[in-house]
Amino acid sequence: MKTYLKILILSFLIGFSLEISQEEDLLKNIINTTVTAYSEFDGCNNPGCLMANNKKAHIGAIACPRTIKLGTKVQVYGQVYICSDRMNKRYTNRFDIFTGYGKEAHKKAMDFGIRKTTVLLLD
């Protein structure tokens, strides 16, 4: 019953109805995980703040576990992000949202904290 309820809620959140086989496929794309946030002050460890995809860090980017392909779109709290960076090898089940540059972005990352939530892999 819990699984069916999750499917119904996710169907509602992403705005479409699903067939049973599609619902089962959707469940494979749900990850219960930890999500954190970072800014240039605490996450840019190289000149130019380059991410694993060799592009400059930007809003809409997220660091993903190494098991998820770079370029994959994920949904966290209704917002879509692109896996553009990698988590440290020790974090096998964590995502890290880039909040931007400057003191305000750093405060936003610190205020975000460490959260347990569900991440939806979109592709």
- How many CB atoms sit inside 10 A of residue 15's CB? 6
Q: What is the mean pLDDT of the segment spanning 101-123?
A: 94
pLDDT for residue 15: 53
CA distance 101 to 70: 22
pLDDT for residue 120: 94
Q: Which tokens go with 79?
A: 């917002």
H-helix segments, the chain: 2-14, 20-28, 40-43, 103-112
CA distance 16 to 8: 10
> Tell me: the pLDDT tens digits for 15-53?
555 455 555 555 678 999 999 999 998 877 778 889 999
CA distance 41 to 15: 36
- Please name each of the domains of the chain with its CATH number: 30-121 (2.40.40.10)
pLDDT for residue 123: 77
> Tell me: the pLDDT tens digits for 66-102?
999 999 999 999 999 999 999 989 998 999 999 999 9
